[in-house]
Structure 1
């Protein structure tokens, strides 16, 4: 039965083949059968993929934040830094401006953005099928990379939820999120989010921030040309930024205007010239960044943790900052660097320049660099000497001296012999400074430097009196400011207050408690010496037509040049040299640094009254004129023995035949017996000025200073390089 059935089937197929051949027809081949199968399976897979995509989009839409949550999201903190007069000097971090609702956004801004970024915005579901198909076709016909312009919705998804990686995985997630956004929000809401969040360069996020940054007015006042410039920035914010390249920005805006005409957003005959758009004038921010780099890290200590936008009000004077920058740049030797710090009498930083060009190098030489100050360090040597009892008029001797194997020399190579303290300081005589340091003690000099704010390590080798210790320019300026402040401490600061964008005060500077570092008469004497250095000494180039006090400093081989001084309540320090510490030909503290000081200070004090220095020495009683009556008292205060050996009571001393008081037969004045217990002991008498290593009578000490140093554990080590004046 089976065999007969099989034969019947074969016969039937043969008959059908014969009939088909007779009718001129052919049975379908294998190719068409597989084509049909692929089509069916492809359609099934497409339906399955669409189902999975719909599920993915649905889940993504459900997990998306609400519209109001997306409005409130900011990615980082914005810091607006203001000068002492309230003007904005720099804005750091992203700026979001004011949020504009869809109705508040100018129509011309919406049209410009749609024309250049997504012409089918109102018709696609988040992903543009036409644009994607065209991109695939271009890639298939020879392009090396598959690329397609993202829709506005895709860009919003990327900016809010994703990064900018060009991986396939990121593009797929971007497409899903874009369709989820379209599912959950209206086109108006999506466009509102986009225009308020998209990045336009220069830290500006959103059209209002961009409008204020580039045109100095809010976004609801945008003109057609301005809207075209802003819309053109999205493609490449840094390349088309009007503050970086005006021509590139104008060229890109012209493309936007052409597309707006093609899509009938503006009339075909409309004439808009983007080159006529008035851009915001950018204040010079180069050297200002040296100040902000120093001041803003202090916010971590001054404020609680906050991510809301803040405004930082500082002590910086914009005019003085420009003058300081110009003074350094115009006087610094070629191939060298320069730094300047200017401090008001209360410690407020008025200007701070850390180098010749912040863009070239942002290393802050005013606050971070450690360099030798040269003879400007003698400030502490002479402060210690004045505190020990010296006065500017005291006589000293400029003579060759050796201390612990170290023999300092003067920059002139010669000695002038006997002179006064004022002249020795004014002409920066090294041998006198060495003798003073040895007499008052190198530890006392180091202690004085610490007292006046030097925070870097200080050695006590003899060469330290000439400035071998490395210091910061800010610290040296602070020390001189304390002398200007009549010996009271000065604490530099740069932040006056910090507020929120709504005006709420988060921090306000309080005046630091001042400490009297040295007595008034010591500060007055030091001011006298500093004034002499500018009037007649090494700092004459720092004269500005009003009283100035200051000191030069030059290290060996002309590696560093220093000048620090003050006038009318402003103290300014200037340093110049090379970062690699190599020699600079002709660099001396009394030349380029002093000239830069003068150039800056002429501007800095122009609106301040002329102030004469208080150099009157109101010495303490123990330091007044060394007369007999002070040390021995009046004759009426003492008992005496007459020639017959009788005791003579105070006030009744008889006169001798010649009218003089009786004295012992050997002719020497008797040792009095003081009756006033309040008089100072003899150890408080002013020291007799002698040479180092010698006693008051000029005789050598029984024990040398070197032996005492070794005995107390202060063994001498290799001496640092000896600075010059």
Structure 2
């Protein structure tokens, strides 16, 4: 009897020590729940198109804090039906659910069901890392028990609904409802609630914006679960499943614009926290540009070995960017060829040379020789142009006559004077300090070139491209950084340039850009061996810049600025014609 008592005492002592050691092991780095309940997150940035439709989000997006009484009963009902039907009755850990999951997993020979309750999920989301191991599962259970003691069931459900991650950077049902459906959580329909309730299982896989078909299929499963739980009838579940329809995003590759619009946000809005930015992007125009460029690259572009392209559409009056495509597919290559790539513009640079000549007192009707020209060991050619002797400046620009452009460069102060004109209109880059600059041997970006041409259409004002029209933080309007248009050239010189650029489209190298019933002006540009092809055109109130080429600089096949780029300009204008 004494032996049994001693043994029992020893086992109790050692068992207590083992239990204490286990508790220390599982809890020594357990977070303080009270402190962890305080929200810590990255500031969010929400980009809206010019009409207010959602364009993109980054950071951690939170909506309004919601109360159960404010929500339709079917929203929390859908969540409990699919995630934790015994939420109201268990103590934080569902023994029945764990047993059911263990049996199902044993029969399947793999993990097919989980037994975590909503409280355990909340503990994991609030306090723990996503890693999967026994220690973390025990900590999750301990924290779930603490939460059940600290809060009522309604409070736990409210915390969950306001904190759960639902994909796309959205935390909480209100942020997700606004992100995916454009309405607050209090106004979601039954089928929308079902889609939201289906997201916690796999927020990325069922994201309605990324995988609409998967989101709808998951939402239908949630509706079936609600019917099985007796929350709705099977007939209503079927009817709601048939109503599910997620609209296609109007633009698939506005990522280049979103990235560009968010450059230097920390400097532009220091310490502002969450930001809501209304951008200048026109979704209808953006979609038209994307569709037309992809059609061209997939059709005639493929035959001509054109691998990439870029398009920028600006409001000529103030530089607002209405559309931007930085390549063929953003997800395949987010590198922005419209804003970052520096390529030679070819003859698209000539307007700056001609403007320098106008500012030296010449007019579009004055003449210049188009005869052959040799400077040292360099002799610029004129392609198929047959020399006529003396031609007007208007004809020289319309037909893109190289020898005439070089002579105008020499008359107007040389390469440095032409580079200074381009820089005055906003073109930054590397400029050759020799006569070849007249033929476009600079290295420039499409965005700079397009903005510079705006001055030819707006009466002579330099514009600085911008993408943010309105900024708001915590219901407070912020000043959106923007540079006002500034007089850069005389109105008379701008009008003369506009006249000559119109001649390019009317009867010169840019005839493919002409569109019936609309005044169009512009300039073509082609570099050696057709490595780059440009067209930059004016069609009030827009200026549209287009570049086609290959990332590795390989030649295209018989592509010039007056062929595919000019045709793409024409197609875009046709697409957006009222």
TM-score tier by shorter-chain length is 0.7 to 0.9
CA drift of 1:264 comes to 4.5
Bigger Cα displacement from structure 2, 417-426 vs 201-210: 201-210
**Structure 2 residue matching 1:486: 3-state secondary structure:** coil
C-alpha contact 1:213 1:280 (8 A) present in aligned 2: no
CA drift of 1:221 comes to 4.2
2:53 corresponds to: 87
2:492 corresponds to: 521
Bigger Cα displacement from structure 2, 143-152 vs 195-204: 143-152
CA drift of 1:551 comes to 0.9
Q: Counterparts in 2 of 1:3-82, with a 5 A limit?
A: 63-65=32-34, 70=37, 73=39, 75-82=41-48
C-alpha contact 2:209 2:249 (8 A) present in aligned 1: no
CA drift of 1:243 comes to 4.3
Q: 1:533 aligns with which of 488, 500, 504?
A: 504
Deviations 1:112-163 (A, max 9, x none): 3223323333344333345556667888999578995322112111111222
CA drift of 1:212 comes to 3.7
User: Is residue 464 from structure 1 mapped to residue 437 from structure 2 by the alignment?
Assistant: yes
Q: Residues 59, 186 of structure 1: CA spacing in aligned structure 2 closer, same or farther, 3 A cutoff?
A: farther
User: Is residue 389 from structure 1 mapped to residue 355 from structure 2 by the alignment?
Assistant: no
Aligned length: 568
Matches of 1:48 and 1:130 in 2, distance apart? 30
Structure 2 length as normaliser, TM-score?
0.87
Q: Residues 483, 125 of structure 1: CA spacing in aligned structure 2 closer, same or farther, 3 A cutoff?
A: same
User: Is residue 473 from structure 1 mapped to residue 431 from structure 2 by the alignment?
Assistant: no
Q: Residues 47, 130 of structure 1: CA spacing in aligned structure 2 closer, same or farther, 3 A cutoff?
A: farther
Q: Residues 131, 60 of structure 1: CA spacing in aligned structure 2 closer, same or farther, 3 A cutoff?
A: farther
C-alpha contact 1:79 1:91 (8 A) present in aligned 2: yes
2:296 corresponds to: 331
2:456 corresponds to: 483
CA drift of 1:181 comes to 1.5
1:297 corresponds to: 263
1:714 corresponds to: none
C-alpha contact 2:319 2:466 (8 A) present in aligned 1: yes
Q: 1:321 aligns with which of 286, 291, 297?
A: 286
Q: Residues 590, 134 of structure 1: CA spacing in aligned structure 2 closer, same or farther, 3 A cutoff?
A: same
C-alpha contact 2:223 2:237 (8 A) present in aligned 1: no
Bigger Cα displacement from structure 2, 531-540 vs 505-514: 505-514
Unaligned runs of 5+ in 2: none
Matches of 1:62 and 1:437 in 2, distance apart? 72
**Structure 1 residue matching 2:202: 3-state secondary structure:** coil
Larger gyration radius, structure 1 or structure 2: 1
Please give the root-mean-square deviation of Cα atoms over the aligned residues, in Å.
3.5
CA drift of 1:408 comes to 0.7
Matches of 1:161 and 1:338 in 2, distance apart? 47
Q: Counterparts in 2 of 1:367-446, with a 5 A limit?
A: 367-412=339-384, 414-440=386-412, 441-446=414-419
C-alpha contact 1:321 1:350 (8 A) present in aligned 2: yes
Q: Residues 313, 416 of structure 1: CA spacing in aligned structure 2 closer, same or farther, 3 A cutoff?
A: same
Matches of 1:235 and 1:214 in 2, distance apart? 17
Q: 2:88 aligns with which of 103, 122, 128?
A: 122
Q: Residues 76, 439 of structure 1: CA spacing in aligned structure 2 closer, same or farther, 3 A cutoff?
A: same
Structure 1 length as normaliser, TM-score?
0.71
Q: Residues 285, 602 of structure 1: CA spacing in aligned structure 2 closer, same or farther, 3 A cutoff?
A: closer
CA drift of 1:407 comes to 0.7
Matches of 2:48 and 2:103 in 1, distance apart? 54
Q: Residues 209, 373 of structure 1: CA spacing in aligned structure 2 closer, same or farther, 3 A cutoff?
A: same
1:236 corresponds to: 202
Deviations 1:197-252 (A, max 9, x none): 11222333222333344444433345554443332222122333444445544544
CA drift of 1:340 comes to 1.4
Matches of 1:316 and 1:81 in 2, distance apart? 10
